[in-house]
Amino acid sequence: MPIRVGGLQILTVVMKIQKYSIIPVGVLLLWLLPVFAYAQEQNDFKVQCLECHQETIEKWEASAYVHPPFKEGKCTACHATEHMEFTSKPGQSCLICHTMTLEKLRQSHFGADVTGKDCTSCHYTHGSERKGLLKEFVHTPFLKGMCNICHKLTTDGKIELKDEPGKLCLSCHKALIDKEGGNVHPALDLMGCIDCHSPHTTSRERLLKKDQTKLCLDCHDPDQIKKHPSDVVPSGKIIKEQNYKVKLSKEGKVVCSSCHNPHSSKEHYLLQESMDQAQLCYSCHRRE
């Protein structure tokens, strides 16, 4: 929470310092005034943020790992005083403190040169439950430092992919795609895996880049969603009757993948189950 800074606090600090110093009180006041003015500016800035974002800020403050500038209340190191403005170009605030060419930083990225990369694609900027401020969901090879499965380093330390992204993904996840006698989601061929999934870290399950419904609606007609029971929470009775096997989001909502397989299926419309004899319906609803 914000630290209060005012005239009384300044005078209290000055008197304590003067007790052990021969420097006159007036000189101490002149010396400390800019320090307290900066602290007051940071405090005022944070108070403004708390007016709308108290729950979020308190969550960050309670994180296992907190970014030092945020912990120390140095908000204007990255944020400008104007709302939603920054002290640098988008994605470059980290460069104010971090030098990408430092050997220590390179080693923390498995020896790779990450110059020009977007730090926020993998790291949170305020607080995280993971060391290094990594996001919640991390691709296992990335977490274990097995970068060489997908990447290779050039002679100058730059990162390159060993092959096309889709081919690299399928070298481990081939079982997700049934191309023999099945219907494959056209997006896999038209765009590829990394249009929907992050290859490193993300704040969403299955390493999705967006909430599932929003991700699907990037391509699919939004009007179609009105015909589907999407983003609704089914009754506890339905979930219990199906032995808690209903495919729901982590928020407990029906989403696109509750009925559709996002990769491939032997059924039309990439359905999870056949509509013959209403098997798909009975995956949630009880047979009367």
Residue 250 included in any domain: yes
Residue 56 lies in a domain: yes
Angstrom CA distances, 235 to 132, 214, 242, 248, stand at 39, 23, 11, 12
Single-letter amino acid, residue 92: Q
CA distances from 90 to 12, 84, 85, 262 (A): 41, 11, 9, 32
Domain boundary among 40, 62, 84: 62
Q: Considering the domain boundaries, does residue 72 fall inside one?
A: no
Structure confidence at residue 288 as a pLDDT band (50, 70, 90):
low
For residue 37, give its domain range: 1-62
pLDDT above 70: residue 220: yes
pLDDT beyond 80 at 245: no
* pTM listed for this prediction: 0.74
Domain-located, residue 25: yes
> How would residue 6 be classed by pLDDT, with cut points 50, 70 and 90?
very low
Establish if 253 belongs to a structural domain. yes
Of the three residues 36, 62, 88, the one that is the final residue of a domain is 62
Residue where one domain finishes, among candidates 37, 62, 87: 62
Residue 52 lies in a domain: yes
Q: How confident is the model at residue 279 (pLDDT cuts 50, 70, 90)?
A: confident
Beta strands (DSSP E) in the chain are 65-66, 127-128, 137-138, 151-153, 159-161, 183-184, 201-202, 264-265
Region 16-28 average pLDDT: 55
Q: What is the mean pLDDT of residues 131-145?
A: 92
Q: Is residue 230 part of a domain?
A: yes
Residue 173 placed within a domain: no
Pick the more confident residue, 227 or 32: 227
In this model, does residue 101 exceed pLDDT 50? yes
Per the structure, how many domains does the chain have?
2
